[in-house]
Amino acid sequence: MNVGSQASRGPGGELRIAYLIPEFPGQTHAFFWRERRRLERLGVRVDLFTTRQPPPSVRARHDWAEAAEASTAHLVPLGWIGAIESVTEILRAGPRGWGRVARCLWQSEAPGLKGRARLAAALLLGARLSARSRRQGVAHVHVHSCADAANVALLANRLSGLGYSLTLHNPLDCYGPNQPQKWKHARFAIVITRKILAEVEEELEGMLPPRVFVAPMGVDEEAFCRVESYEPCRGGDRFRIFSCSRINPGKAIDDLVRAMARLEELGVDAELRVAGADDVGGSYRDELLALAAELGVSDRVHLLGSLSEHEVLAELRAAHAFGRASHAEPLGIAIAEAMAVELPVVATAAGGVPELVTDGVDGLLVPPRAPEAFAEALARIARDPELAERLSARSRKTILESFHSGVSASAIHEGIRRPAR
């Protein structure tokens, strides 16, 4: 297998690649599964690798989770068999592969002994990934992370020539050191917003792969749709607001709770339902419940915990509006899902959200950390059925034009089918 080799083809002539996804399948990994199905429609077979199983608290509860677990190969734990497999692959690489690995390790950013130990572990996992990929007829791995998993793919590439590519889902500083090496040796890369692309181009000037695509995390527009027409809130109805996210301070669910108190002051009879698991062991959830009690809205704020995709879809169809008050948001897949279901959205103009939502056209945008402004935007939708219907009608069109899961699948297909010259 030569460095930069193209994706191989299966017995039926289909392209064959693999995904490497950390701790797959997790509750927030629905997008990866959708993208994989889109690639299969394009004639690409996608095998699945993960670093390790996700912790029980964040393991996926969706209908596809069981099938995903059954078809995913784990690189960790190594065990004796895995260790032998890794060492054998390292020996197989010979002096040429050893030289590439040595140069890569010498040039890598790995602060302190801990950083060096992580790279050593990544080398063992990369060797195992290389061995398994060759055995399965896979010559290209797409990594849905730019953290440690990208180091695994990088070192597999330096060792054996296994081709790889990256998707960057968040700003680069979320993913730790050694970014120049990870990007320099990738065959291509995908970033989810133009904003993140500009940051990457500035930070990694001269180290980017030959092609970098902008392709958002997309929605399965066939699944996320309405059965019946959207009905706005009308006089006498309780205004139903739904939100879905990981429950952590960065998602600012507390600002949604404060907005509920302000809605009451504005005379809007509203209810907030929030789906998602607490990322911080339940402490933030307890803070939210205490805040709701303090503000006198406990009976109108409901924290639902983790829901399956079908349960989320049912909540979206039953709501009058969707709210996301994040302090920072790379793009907002949950916002896109709400828009696909023709639900008017109110979101903070944080991160890449303005690339998804155009204020006053397919949703309403407010500044982050401004719960009163958030409440006033929600009140506009509650009080103005014509505005709600107009936002509803335009929101799905935005998704169908640019934010469905076929966009990123097509970018990966293009990247593996037509190597850069």
At residue 11, the pLDDT reads 56
Measured in Å, how far apart are the chain's first and last C-alpha atoms? 19
Q: 232 preceded by cis ω (within 30°)?
A: no
Interior angle at CA 372, CA 367 and CA 378, nearest 5: 85
Q: What is the pLDDT of residues 242-286, one digit of tens each?
A: 999 989 999 999 999 999 999 999 999 999 999 998 877 778 999
Q: 25 preceded by cis ω (within 30°)?
A: yes
Average model confidence (pLDDT) for the chain? 93
Looking at the structure, tell me whether residues 411 and 285 fall in a common domain.
no
Looking at the structure, tell me whether residues 381 and 412 fall in a common domain.
no
**229 within some domain:** no
Q: Which residue has the higher pLDDT, 12 or 64?
A: 64
Looking at the structure, tell me whether residues 347 and 375 fall in a common domain.
yes
- The answer for residues whose C-beta is within 8 angstroms of residue 125's C-beta and 6 or more apart is 51, 75, 76, 78, 86, 152, 155
Looking at the structure, tell me whether residues 249 and 210 fall in a common domain.
no
**165 within some domain:** yes
Looking at the structure, tell me whether residues 272 and 182 fall in a common domain.
no
**25 within some domain:** yes
Looking at the structure, tell me whether residues 285 and 265 fall in a common domain.
yes
Tokens of 146: 């730019």
CATH of the domain at 70: 3.40.50.2000
Tokens of 403: 């934010």
At residue 280, the pLDDT reads 74
Read off the pTM.
0.92
At residue 282, the pLDDT reads 77
Q: Which of 111-115, 262-266, 314-318 has the lowest mean pLDDT?
A: 111-115
What is the pLDDT confidence band of residue 1, given thresholds at 50, 70 and 90?
Answer: very low
Report whether pLDDT(3) > 50. Answer: no
Q: Which residue has the higher pLDDT, 263 or 417?
A: 263
* pLDDT (average), residues 317-341: 96
**234 within some domain:** no
Report whether pLDDT(421) > 60. Answer: no
**351 within some domain:** yes
**264 within some domain:** yes
Looking at the structure, tell me whether residues 246 and 382 fall in a common domain.
yes
Q: How many domains does the chain have?
A: 2
Looking at the structure, tell me whether residues 172 and 319 fall in a common domain.
no
Report whether pLDDT(13) > 70. Answer: no
**230 within some domain:** no
Three-state SS string across 212-228, please? EEECCCCECCCCCCCCC
Report whether pLDDT(293) > 50. Answer: yes
At residue 112, the pLDDT reads 83
**227 within some domain:** no
Half-sphere exposure of 293 (CA within 13 A, CB side): 6
Report whether pLDDT(61) > 90. Answer: no
Please give the residue range of the domain that contains residue 89: 8-218+405-417
Looking at the structure, tell me whether residues 412 and 397 fall in a common domain.
no
At residue 134, the pLDDT reads 96
What is the pLDDT confidence band of residue 60, given thresholds at 50, 70 and 90?
Answer: confident
Looking at the structure, tell me whether residues 391 and 412 fall in a common domain.
no
Looking at the structure, tell me whether residues 205 and 306 fall in a common domain.
no
Looking at the structure, tell me whether residues 173 and 260 fall in a common domain.
no
At residue 5, the pLDDT reads 47
Please list, residue by residue across 321-355, b when 16 or more beta carbons sit within 10 angstroms of its beta carbon and e when fewer do.
bbbbbbebbbbbbbbbbbbbbbbbbbbbebbbbeb
